[in-house]
Amino acid sequence: MPRDPRLYLDDILDAVSAINRYIDDYDYVSFVEDKKTQDAVVRNLEVIGEAVNHLPETVRSLANDIEWRKISDLRNILIHQYFGISVPVIWDIVMNKLKPLRSACESILEHLEDD
């Protein structure tokens, strides 16, 4: 029996929350200088990408403004091309992409709960 998509959405939200905790009070320079935090953030981005990979298209279609494919592609880069990870790109994702993703996942969860 397939896993309930709501659980994958919860996984995404948990990973976003973890990232936000890790970078609380960080600026870009602090992030660049803290390899341990970079590793923790990257690990949670991997979790987000893996969870996104398991979301059915019917669920993804509830938030067409989210670039689901790019999230999935990022996971593949982080897992398979770890030597090519760009800290500035990771920082940009954390600063600019996680908040809309969180909002979309929360909205989708509300929609699914109403069904």
Query: What's the mean pLDDT when you consider all of the chain?
Result: 95
- Res. 17: pLDDT tops 80: yes
pLDDT of residue 2: 83
- Res. 82: pLDDT tops 90: no
List active site positions: 75, 80
- Res. 65: pLDDT tops 90: yes
Q: Quick check: 59 and 112 in contact, CB under 8 A?
A: yes
User: In the chain, where are the structural domains located?
Assistant: 5-114
Please report the DSSP string for 36-98 in residue order.
Answer: HHHHHHHHHHHHHHHHHHHS-HHHHGGGTTS-HHHHHHHHHHHHH-GGG--HHHHHHHHHHTH
pLDDT of residue 94: 97
Distance of CA 32 to the CA centre of its chain: 19
Is 0.85 surpassed by the pTM of this model?
Answer: yes
